[in-house]
Amino acid sequence: MAAPRVTPVTHVVFDVDGVLIDTEHLYTDIIQGIVGKYGKTFTMDIKVKQMGRKEPEAAKVVIESLDLPLTVDQYLQMSHEQQEKLFPSVELLPGAECLVKHLHKNGVPIATATGSHTQSFELKTSGHKDLFSLFHHCVLSGDDPECKHGKPAPDCFLLAAQRFPDNPDPSKVLVFEDAPNGVEAAHAAGMQCVWIPHKGINKETHRHLATLVLESLEDFRPEMFGLPSYDS
């Protein structure tokens, strides 16, 4: 199946973890630290299944996949304790600051849509408040009452579009994602998607759903989608 055709867009929505900020390796370390206590290994196959989902759903995937003797609440408490230590110092990924500032400067409406809940999002972005203040809004599907289902359902991306003042047609919205679940969600929402696969993920599994597959945000050229070029 061929990838979706590139057409001009007017609005941009970013996933956060693994696209704008370098948290995915921290999540891996945190989860392995938890499951390792029970002699288990957090594999890439499990990571792919839980990436992008609402936090309780992601926790359930890990618990059930590894048959852990933990409730979701117990697992999340252990995870949150480590997040509070590690997340405030998280760094931006290459190309993130440049692209976000460029789009904002040129009047392109931008938003984020993530599976995170408010507390986690604030921890992760606390060192980059100036950059995240440039977004028109942030959809935090982890605890947003209007977001009924996490990725791979399209809810968070559709909400992100609806919350722009002009409520653009989904076909005019470009999504940036790193997780296969997120690519599925963008496709289900009827949006084009630039996929920047997390290291270790098989690029062939979801290539047909992504409009464009890149190694880094640094490789993105806005003019491909009818957006202002870096030279403008």
Contacts 24+ apart (CB under 8 A), 195-201: 196/18, 196/19, 198/18, 198/24, 198/47, 198/51, 200/44, 201/44, 201/48
Q: State the catalytic residue, choosing from 17, 45, 130, 143.
A: 17
**Residue 219 annotated among the catalytic residues of the structure:** no
Active site residue 17: yes
Dihedral over Cα of 129, 145, 49, 26: its sign: positive
- Write out the catalytic residue numbers: 15, 17
